[in-house]
Structure 1
Amino acid sequence: MADFVKLVVPKTPLLISTTIKHYLDGPPKPSWDLKFHLAVILVRSLFKDSSTLTIEQVQRASCYSIPVLAGVTINEFKINNKYRYEAQVHLEKILKPYEHVLDTEWKDLKDDGIISEWIQVPNDEWEKREIRKTILYLHGGGYYCCGKSSCRNNTSSLAKKVNARVLVIDYRLAPQNQFPAGLQDALAAYLYLLNPPKDAGFEPLNPKNIVFSGESAGGGLSMALGLAIRDAGLPSCAGIIGWSPWVDLTVSTPSILDDECCDFLPKPSERFVPKESQVEIEYKEKAAALTAKIKKQNIGPKIWHDSFDRPGRIQMYAPNEGLAIPYVSPMLAESLGGLPPLLLVAGDSERLRDEAIYLAHRSAEPAKYKGPSYNAGKFEKSPFQAPTNTTLEIYEEMPHVFQVMDHASTTKSYERTVEFINKVTNAIDEPLPPSSFSCINTKGEFGPLKEHHKEILKWENIGIVPSVKRELTTRRSTPELFVYTALLLAGFAYFLRKNFY
């Protein structure tokens, strides 16, 4: 509460002026009530004029503990590193074509396990059920920040609404831990569920009882995990859910730059650089050394596009030369066929909208939508050409990860998520309908995608980094893009639900 007051009190004039404008001029979107409008304005303001932060400060600030909802309990534990070593064996096989652009430091484990937690309804008798519905949830935060405790609004809501157990992990964060460290931890968690230790308190799970889910970067990591499992020949999970998934780290789609998007996320030109710190210095030195090794020593084939060649890192999560790796940017995979059923959700007013739309079409119609031009011919060689059952839902007027705020669209999205999980785990005896692409209005009514949604299907620059001049008039942190979203989408959303709704 004290942190919330410190954030909001200086914004009182802005909140008052926004309130006046809300009633005089109307909200930015018709369905936004005053509380929704104020929340969006507040987080945007935090992006623009928050004090400068180091990477370390961003990570500490974003990992504060959010209470779970009433009627839900938390059981914290660690997943043993033996599961990471098992995951490493599988990842080394599928990453072999890309190993010349990757730092091997991800293999050097610096801790004794993955900090994790189970979220569940007390006395749920989950162990006795024939279908033990389980959600492996991967948090968002741009791969730089946040953690299992910052997404408890989402995870505790899912545990209650789905009547499932939710496993959440603190996967390793960039820039200290480069790709594929986070993916290794996610795969280790899945392997833990399939073959738990004797003291875990549950028997090995049927993979068809497990659903991957995540928001933003966590949604992208869920997709990457699904691809890795498919390519490694491991048992497939029941389904994958991405809420506003970040699946294109080349930020190549038009909605990223769309001025019509009423979102928390700024355009690439408005992103910030971090305040100098020891972590940033070490990260930049290692990144520069790796790039020099890749290019000057010519140690492997070029697997990146010319647009990736620019000073500095485009993303902290992976080197520029590795941005087209499918487990980094799932939207760019050679094929998105042969995956478990997908539920992809995005807001019509968010910058990541086009990524979700394009990924959905590539998975449902893999032979028609074959990815970036520089991957031409690779789909034909892929063994995964069978269409993936894909449900795409675009919610009108909604911003990034709108599920953390109270709105009619939030209620509808949760209903659809629960229905999807129940169907893919066979908790209800109903087959999944065919792949569908829908636009859902603020009344919860389904319709076809609109014309501006389909423009991405004709986009010729998929996977090509746009030429955007960064606006560096003030020094801010790229991770702040996500940490302040986290501050709103966790603590602030929690505060709103407790005090206003």
Structure 2
Amino acid sequence: MAEHKPRSATKAAKAHLELVWTVLPQIPSVIRVVLLHILKMSEPSRYLELRDNVIISFLRSLLDQPKPQPISKTQRMTLQDPGIKGRIWVSKVSSQVPPETSVRDVLLAAIDSSKGQFVIADGICRVPDIISVEAEWTGYRAAAKRSSELPAISEEDKYAEMMKECSSDVTILYFHGGAYYLMDPSSHRPTTKKLAKLTGGRVYSVRYRLAPQHPFPSALLDALVSYLTLLYPPPGSVHPAVDASNIVFSGDSAGGHLSLCLLQAVLEIRRRGHSVIWFGQERAVPLPAGVAANSPWLDIVQSMPSWHSNHKWDYLPRPRDLADLQQPEDAIWPAQPPRKHLFIDDDFLLHPFACLHLNASWEDAPPIYVCCGWECLADEDKWLVSKLVKDGVAVVFEEYEAMPHVFAAILDKAPQSARCFDGWARFISQACKSPQDIQSSFTTIKAKTMKEVDISVKNLSPFTEEDLRKFAYDRIGRKSSFPNTPAKL
């Protein structure tokens, strides 16, 4: 009888073949970029090394296709677990589902009280199920080799071995990027491993629910459940309670959005004086030590000018018409009932928990770190920084000249990436150890020379609050409820 390949091997081979057929059409554009770079005939060649320029151009060509693949196919390709090898500890865990619905009730109340003028009056927020949220405890494994596999021990024992190598109490609650519909904690292990190594701490990397199957506020609920799980471990947890002063919310891109969204939800819960009934006990919802966001996606509807003006420096595709996402039909899209956005229902497109740059206040927030490049999201990130300063929040901002979106995770050989990880980790450590010493700073890191130049926060964003509201309303084709009144953000 003929031997049959294991199902997992067949599945992996199919995924690799899909990847090959996706990559092949991009080769001519890559060759063109190489030639223009060598001849110094492209603007990026003045700032970027050839290798980095090719990677950025390849990703741009790959992502900005006129005929996108079905959502489920693209999503499936990014969820392939590459396996766990090398200098990393991973302990896979999942939270218990609380017997009460209080965590969801409190979150929905915060969403409702924050919607203001940006949600249609009769808009009703979805009510997601409370589920068991999976996560990966990640730490650095110093004595391992690149080929080392995890020992065949229980997840609890893996956690215990990881903790033996932690030299600090830093705990990073990490949310991966991927536009809320792609990626997984397994795809971000290189990032979480590096942060664990640089801080001497550990990372709790969350497998939150993905859109379009689970739109807003499912991921936010999973994030809040994960935070409470750290603070107040349910029965059977492998970890003891973690003090909020040792927890920093962090993430990249959509994960940066989720970390800041969780912070805004916690702020609103506290403004309302609410607590949570959690496994039979009334629990406070404290602020974390800080938030560290790498290229956070704040403007969910992609309305700000840099989404177009910075395209030449980035690989992210230009925004498409929200009324026509041009995605082929498959099992998970279009949604039923239909909506314009993968992540959120139409009535809530401009809710300040979705479009974070429209929030009224960040007052009382802990210290916040934001970094970005010359990317499509630059306008919204710079606006956030200027808004945080106005609201009295300590903020550390780093802008990397000519760098694309989340460059530190993509251009792993670039010196800018090493500098970014150092700054990112340094802030996280300081937020836990001595937050009172964090002073607001605003820095540009020059390409190639790596020279650091102070910049004025007054010059970060040229836009007014009214500009932001107009951009957002124009983008979704909705008229403002207050056309003659400046926005109260």
Matched, 1:396 2:418: no
Q: Pick from 196, 218, 241: which aligns with 1:159?
A: 196
Cα distance 1:232–1:453, how it changes in 2: closer, same or farther (>3 A)?
same
The aligned residue for residue 305 of structure 2 is: 254
Could you say which residue in structure 1 is the equivalent of 2:286? 235
Deviation, structure 1 residue 91: 0.4
**Structure possessing the higher relative contact order (Cα contacts under 8 Å, 6 or more residues apart):** 1
AA matched with 2:375: E
Residue 188 of structure 1 and its aligned partner are, at CA, apart by 0.4
Q: Which moved more, 1:326-335 or 1:248-257?
A: 248-257
Residue in 1 that maps onto 2:219: 182
1:277 aligns with 2:292: no
- More divergent stretch after superposition (239-248 vs 124-133): 124-133
Q: Corresponding residue for 2:138?
A: 119
Q: 2:377 is matched with which residue?
A: 352
Cα deviation for residue 236 of structure 1 reads 0.7
The structure-2 alpha-carbon separation of the partners of 1:333 and 1:400, relative to structure 1 and needing over 3 Å to count, comes to same
Deviation at 1:136, TM superposition (A): 0.7
Matched, 1:445 2:451: yes
Counterpart amino acid of residue 342 in structure 1: I
TM (norm. structure 1) is 0.76
Give the 3 Å change call, closer, same or farther, for CA 121–448 of structure 1 in structure 2.
closer
- The question of whether the paired residues in 1 share the 8 Å contact of 2:136 and 2:205 is answered with yes
Deviation at 1:278, TM superposition (A): 3.2
Distance (Å, rounded) in 2 between the aligned partners of 1:11 and 1:330: 35
2:383–2:461 CA contact under 8 A, matched in 1: no
In the alignment, structure 1 residue 94 sits paired with structure 2 residue 145: no
Say what the alpha-carbon RMSD is for the aligned residues. 2.9
Distance (whole Å) between structure 2 residues aligned to residue 103 and residue 230 of structure 1: 19
- Within 2, Cα distance between the matches of 1:134 and 1:74? 14
Distance 1:68 1:393 in 2: 32
Structure 1 segment 68-467 matched on structure 2, within 5 A: 70-82=86-98, 85-97=101-113, 98=115, 100-106=122-128, 108-109=129-130, 113-122=132-141, 126=163, 131-233=168-270, 234-258=285-309, 261-269=312-320, 272-281=325-334, 283-285=335-337, 287=339, 313=340, 315-347=341-373, 349-366=374-391, 387-404=392-409, 405=411, 406-426=413-433, 431-442=436-447, 443-449=449-455, 454-458=460-464, 460-463=466-469, 464-465=471-472, 467=474
Instruction: Indicate if the aligned counterparts of 1:344 and 1:391 stay in contact, CA closer than 8 A.
Output: yes
Offset from partner CA, 1:286-314 (integer Å, 9 cap, x none): 54xxxxxxxxxxxxxxxxxxxxxxxxx2x
Question: Which digits, 9 at most, give the CA deviation of each residue in 1:337-374, with x for residues without a partner?
Answer: 21111000000x201001111001111112xxxxxxxx
Change (3 A) 1:446 1:201: same
Query: How many angstroms does 1:145 deviate by?
Result: 1.9
Structure 1 portions without partners, runs of 5+: 288-312, 367-386, 471-501
Give the partner amino acid of 1:254: P
Q: Is the 8 A contact 1:83 1:192 kept in 2?
A: no
Deviations, residues 250-293 of structure 1 (Å, cap 9, x unaligned): 32322112156411112224884210123224x14254xxxxxx
* Displacement of 1:418: 1.6
Task: Specify the alignment match of 2:277 in structure 1.
Answer: none
In structure 1, what residue type is equivalent to 2:124?
Answer: L
Match of 2:32 in 1: 17
Provide the aligned length of Structure 1 versus Structure 2: 417
Q: What CA distance in whole angstroms lies between the structure 1 residues aligned with 2:431 and 2:204? A: 18
Instruction: Describe the shift of the 1:66–1:175 C-alpha distance in structure 2 as closer, same or farther (beyond 3 A).
Output: same
Aligned mates of 1:432, 1:424 — CA distance in 2: 9
Comparing 122-131 with 409-418, greater Cα deviation is found at 122-131
CA distance in 2, matches of 1:10, 1:278: 26
Of all paired residues, the percent bearing the same amino acid is 26
Counterpart Cα distance in 1 of 2:384 and 2:261: 12
- Partner deviation per Cα, 1:356-408 (whole Å, 9 max, x = no partner): 11001111112xxxxxxxxxxxxxxxxxxxx1111111111111001111211
SS in 1 for 2:236: helix
Q: Contact conserved, 2:220 with 2:258, CA < 8 A, in 1?
A: yes
Residues 412/323 of structure 1: CA separation in 2 closer, same or farther (3 Å cut): same
Question: 1:114 deviation in Å?
Answer: 1.4
Separation of aligned partners in 2, 1:261 and 1:436: 28
Distance 1:82 1:459, change over 3 A: closer
8 Å Cα contact 2:168/2:201 also seen in 1? no
One-letter amino acid of the structure 1 residue matched with residue 35 of structure 2:
I
Partner of 2:51 in structure 1? 35
Contact 1:52 1:274 in 2 (8 A): yes
